Structure 1
């Protein structure tokens, strides 16, 4: 089998997916509005404080995540592609121009009445991917984040949207 560019990235990527029991328009919307994002973004025990937010291609989300131990993590996201309600691509680092920023593509696929979200993250190097997994527990953190998203959209549905 011939190698493709996608295959070459496998040692630099993390892929996390989850089926969320909500229509994909709602799951997608949870990513588009800061009032939603601040309610569920980040692993368990983390809170998110937004400094600036503009959801558009080229727009930025400048925020701080506070860990359960009180540590603040400066975060920055810029959206590179937005295709409602199917796909969002973004660049994520500590700040604009971060040489270690990584790319993430989120896809939202209908799965019956539910939505399968797939979060594919590609790091600049294998070493940065390994550090994210080992030091920052990126896989477990990503799973927890999608778990918080699932709980949040379930609450939105229960409360009538």
Structure 2
């Protein structure tokens, strides 16, 4: 069973600058967390519907970075950069996400992975530098819908891994389900 919610108790100091998205995934927390730690996983589920991802470099450690290109369904390429600022396996990942390492409009995200019986509840809390940047992300770039689609892709991917047993044979890549 998978559930989605876009609400959570806001931090009132950042409420006008944040987006919170959560989803319960029918997979163990360690596996859901692992899907964020290895590039072979990320490239198979990351991004909204219709997008694919090409990694340029990836180093999953505090202070490390993931440089990648998201390819939109209309053929537009989006240069992306994530710096991992905190990694607490298997409970928490904090990051800064922008178009480049020094992007002044980069936003901060904290992902928490909470056990919920045999399922995992993932909460993605994103704080933008200003209310205007948050509003632009929500209205122009559909940040809430894109975040929900991304977590839905993650859920489908890790549930596929659990179905494939202990060897964890890779499931069908995102967008290639047929």
Which residue of 2 is the match for residue 33 of structure 1? 38
Distance 1:8 1:158 in 2: 42
C-alpha separation between the residues in 2 aligned to 1:96 and 1:75? 9
Task: Summarize deviations over 1:53-85 as a string: whole Å, max 9, x none.
Answer: 000000000000001001000000000000000
Give 1:7 shift: 1.3
Normalised to the residue count of structure 1, the TM-score between the two structures is 0.96
Q: Which secondary structure state, in structure 2, belongs to the residue aligned with residue 144 of structure 1?
A: helix
| Structure 2 Cα separation of the partners of residues 84 and 60 of structure 1 | 17
For 1:111-126, what aligned pairs fall within 5 Å after superposition? 111-126=116-131
Query: Match for residue 98 of structure 2?
Result: 93
Structure 1 residue ranges without an equivalent (≥5)? 1-5
Superposed counterparts of 1:61-140, under 5 Å? 61-140=66-145
1:158 Cα shift? 1.2
The list of structure 1 runs, each at least 4 consecutive aligned residues, that deviate by more than 4 angstroms after superposition, is none
CA distance in 1: counterparts of 2:97 and 2:66, whole angstroms:
9
Residue deviations 1:94-143, cap 9 Å, x none? 00110000000000000110000000000000000000000000000000
Which residue pairs with 1:3 in the alignment?
Answer: none
Report the TM-score, using the length of structure 2 for normalisation. Answer: 0.87
Q: Distance in 2 between matches of 1:117 and 1:158?
A: 20
The whole-number CA distance in structure 2 between the counterparts of 1:56 and 1:113 is 27
Aligned residues: 157
C-alpha distance in 1 between matches for 2:136 and 2:29: 32
Out of 50, 68, 85, the residue aligned to residue 55 of structure 2 is 50
In the alignment, structure 1 residue 159 sits paired with structure 2 residue 164:
yes
Q: 1:60 aligned to 62, 65, 71, which one?
A: 65
Q: Distance in 1 between matches of 2:15 and 2:68?
A: 29
